[in-house]
């Protein structure tokens, strides 16, 4: 892994540590104010699905510390920090940290920190009741980085804390592969589908009327899913992570991540990893999204 780090630092001397998956889309182009507002509104909607039910169903959330790994420009922190005691966002990119600091300037309960991309060294042991990471682990280029972070999450997670981390499934990279599709997600869409695709879906649904709508079937695929932020990183089988978490006397489970990109919505290609020190700490609503 050291080799990989040195190579990336050479390629991108601006940042202390960058990932191959981010090479092409290292910084986002600045958006016009109107677009920026639209994006903020979209993030608010995401927040209401992915985070708010979890926060509100956690006991004493007002006194809780919240850590976000890969906070980007801090838009989730903007909404999260209204509910909890203290929010920390960490990210490897200086440009993200600067934007997040700008956005959260007036929030006295927020800190945004540049990290080394590998560890949570600035965070105290057992200090975080909430740990969240969205669209970030899916870019991490090797298994060892993901496992290293999981160990760090176990170190900083409070005894009553819960982590919700989005992970990449095996189906995203280019190349012949099998993907799993739920019949119920195959409804033809007049606007988005080409005529052929629309017809295929319609026929398919008719033929398969004898199976339940949550029937999952394999399809053969060649092209990679589109990712506007860069490319997809390493796939690590969730059972490896669960094993690591269990070895550390903690609880983990993996759920499909449906909300968001079409890749996540239609296939079992993106997961939520839920980690808790005790199973009882895991509120039901952490499972949404």
Ligand X SMILES: C[S@@+](CC[C@H](N)C(=O)[O-])C[C@H]1O[C@@H](n2cnc3c(N)ncnc32)[C@H](O)[C@@H]1O
How would you classify the pairing of strands 270-276 and 157-168? antiparallel
Shortest CB 265 distance to ligand X, Å:
16
Q: Give the Cβ contact number of residue 247 at 10 Å.
A: 9
Q: Is 139 in the site for ligand X (CB under 6 A)?
A: yes
DSSP letters, 27-41, are SPPPPPHHHHHHHHH
For residue 275, the minimal CB distance to ligand X (Å) is 17
> Which CB sits closer to ligand X, 96 or 129?
96
Choosing from 79, 84, 91, 273, the residue that interacts with ligand X (CB under 6 A) is 91
- Site residue total, ligand X (CB under 6 A): 18
The residues, ordered by sequence, that sit 6+ positions from 257 with a Cβ below 8 Å of its Cβ are: 166, 264, 270, 271, 272, 289
> Measured from the CB atom, is 87 or 181 closer to ligand X?
87
The answer to the question of residue 134 lying near ligand X (CB under 6 A) is yes
Residue span binding ligand X (CB under 6 A) among the ranges 66-74, 104-112, 178-186, 201-209? 66-74
If one asks whether residue 72 binds ligand X (CB under 6 A), the answer comes out as: yes
User: Which x/- pattern, by CB under 6 A, does the window 19-48 give for ligand X?
Assistant: x-----------------------------
Cα(268)–Cα(256) distance, integer angstroms? 6
Residues 154-213, interacting with ligand X (CB under 6 A):
none
**Beta-sheet pairing, 86-91 with 128-133:** unpaired
CA dist., res. 245 & res. 239, Å (int): 10
* CB contact set of 13 (below 8 Å; sequence gap of 6+): none
Stretch that binds ligand X, among 30-38, 58-66, 89-97, 102-110 (CB under 6 A): 89-97
Q: Output phi, psi for 167, to 5 deg.
A: -120, 150
Per CB under 6 A, 117 contacts ligand X: yes
Which residue, 91 or 179, is less far from ligand X as judged by CB? 91
Going by their DSSP bridges, the two strands 216-221 and 177-182 should be labelled as antiparallel
CA nearest to 271, candidates 222, 229, 224, 238: 238
- Report d(CA 115, CA 123) in Å as an integer: 10
Question: Among the candidate windows 3-11, 86-94, 194-202, 251-259, which touches ligand X by CB under 6 A?
Answer: 86-94
Is position 130 an interface residue for ligand X (rule: CB under 6 A)? no
What is the token pair recorded at 157? 């997670």
Considering only the stretches 52-60, 92-100, 200-208, 276-284, report the one whose residues sit in contact with ligand X under the rule CB under 6 A.
Answer: 92-100
Residues that bind ligand X (CB under 6 A): 19, 69-70, 72, 75, 90-93, 96, 115, 117, 134-136, 139-140, 229
């Amino acid at each position: 892994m050291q080799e990989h780090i040195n190579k990336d630092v050479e390629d991108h001397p601006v940042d202390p540590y960058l990932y191959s998956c981010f090479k092409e889309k290292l910084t986002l182009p600045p958006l016009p104010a109107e677009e920026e507002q639209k994006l903020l509104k979209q993030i608010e909607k995401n927040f209401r699905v992915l985070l708010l039910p979890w926060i509100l169903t956690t006991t004493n959330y007002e006194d809780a510390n919240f850590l976000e790994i890969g906070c980007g420009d801090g838009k989730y922190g903007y909404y999260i920090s209204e509910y909890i005691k203290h929010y920390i966002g960490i990210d490897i990119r200086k440009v993200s940290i600067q934007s997040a600091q700008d956005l959260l300037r007036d929030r006295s309960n927020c800190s945004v920190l540049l990290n080394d991309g590998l560890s949570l060294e600035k965070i105290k042991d057992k200090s975080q009741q909430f740990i969240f990471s969205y669209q970030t682990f899916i870019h991490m280029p090797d298994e060892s980085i993901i496992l290293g972070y999981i160990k760090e999450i176990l170190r900083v997670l409070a005894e009553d804390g819960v982590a919700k981390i989005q992970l990449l499934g095996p189906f995203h990279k280019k190349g012949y592969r099998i993907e799993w599709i739920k019949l119920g997600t195959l409804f033809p869409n007049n606007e988005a589908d080409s005529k052929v695709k629309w017809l295929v879906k319609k026929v398919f649904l008719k033929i398969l009327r004898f199976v339940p709508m949550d029937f999952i079937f394999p399809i053969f695929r060649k092209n990679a899913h589109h990712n506007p932020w860069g490319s997809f990183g390493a796939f690590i089988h969730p059972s490896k992570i669960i094993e690591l978490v269990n070895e550390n006397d903690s609880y983990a489970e993996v759920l499909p991540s449906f909300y968001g990109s079409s890749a996540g919505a239609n296939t079992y290609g993106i997961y939520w990893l839920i980690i808790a020190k005790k199973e009882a700490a895991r509120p039901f609503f952490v499972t949404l999204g």
